[in-house]
Amino acid sequence: MNAETRSEIFGRLLKKIPEPTTELNYSTPFELLVAVTLSAQATDKSVNKVTDELFPLANTPETIYELGEDVVRDTIRTIGLFNSKAKHIVQACKILIDKYDSKVPETRKELEALPGVGRKTANVVLNTAFGHPTIAVDTHIYRVANRTAIASGKTVLEVEKKLVKFIPDEYRVPAHHLMILHGRYTCKARSPLCPECILLDLCEYEEKNL
């Protein structure tokens, strides 16, 4: 796939989704960090239900740390891995309070040093909260990148590096959510909606569902 085709793809996606953003509910970088940490192996919908209960109780590093691991765990127990997530969130709060004046750091290295924060979570926070041109390759982005041939790769990291390299500069920031939303609602895993896809003529997927 050449640069012109990639540019056309993202141009079409941005016309269809003019304000692409996460479907997680948040109002501050810290709330986003907590929500994304909770989203591992969980749906955005299930995370939003939990944070709708948690954030009115506590939505800063200080207040969540004061709440304590037991209360956090009980509040989030409807989502997967709630034990480890509660532990990591409270530990991260302590670090943010002690080291960062309760502010979320704005570098990948500092974010990844927080408990429960991996490369994908760090990339989401950098892109969504701070507007950095990062790509957090989840299952939707991995699928869309490989199916369309925007950036083919056998590993998540390989796809991420190719996307950062190949996506035109003007689409670097919105590309993350454009691809997620396209994968979630059109380029679905089992039954992609190829006939109504705005990228049909540009996509290189050989097994189009027509």
Handedness of CA 58, 63, 65, 69 (dihedral sign): negative
30 Cβ contact partners less than 8 Å away, ≥ 6 residues apart? 59, 60, 61, 96, 102, 103, 104
The whole-number pLDDT of residue 41 equals: 87
- 203 marked among binding-site residues: yes
72-114 pLDDT tens trace:
999 999 999 999 999 999 999 999 999 999 999 999 999 999 9
Q: Active-site residues: which are they?
A: 120, 138
**Alpha-helical runs (H) found in 20-130:** 29-38, 44-57, 61-67, 69-76, 82-100, 108-112, 119-130
- 93 marked among binding-site residues: no
Residue range 29-130, CATH number: 1.10.340.30
Q: How far apart are CA 206 and CA 125, in angstroms?
A: 34
Tokens of 21: 């953003």
- 197 marked among binding-site residues: yes
The whole-number pLDDT of residue 38 equals: 96
128-173 pLDDT tens trace:
999 999 999 999 999 999 999 999 999 999 999 999 999 999 999 9
Q: Which of 89, 188, 179, 193 is nearest to 134 (CA)?
A: 179
pTM equals: 0.89
- 194 marked among binding-site residues: yes
9-48 pLDDT tens trace:
999 999 999 999 999 999 999 999 999 999 988 999 999 9
Q: Where are the domains of the chain?
A: 3-20+135-196, 29-130
Classified by CATH at the fold level, domain 3-20+135-196 comes out as Endonuclease Iii, domain 2 (1.10.1670)
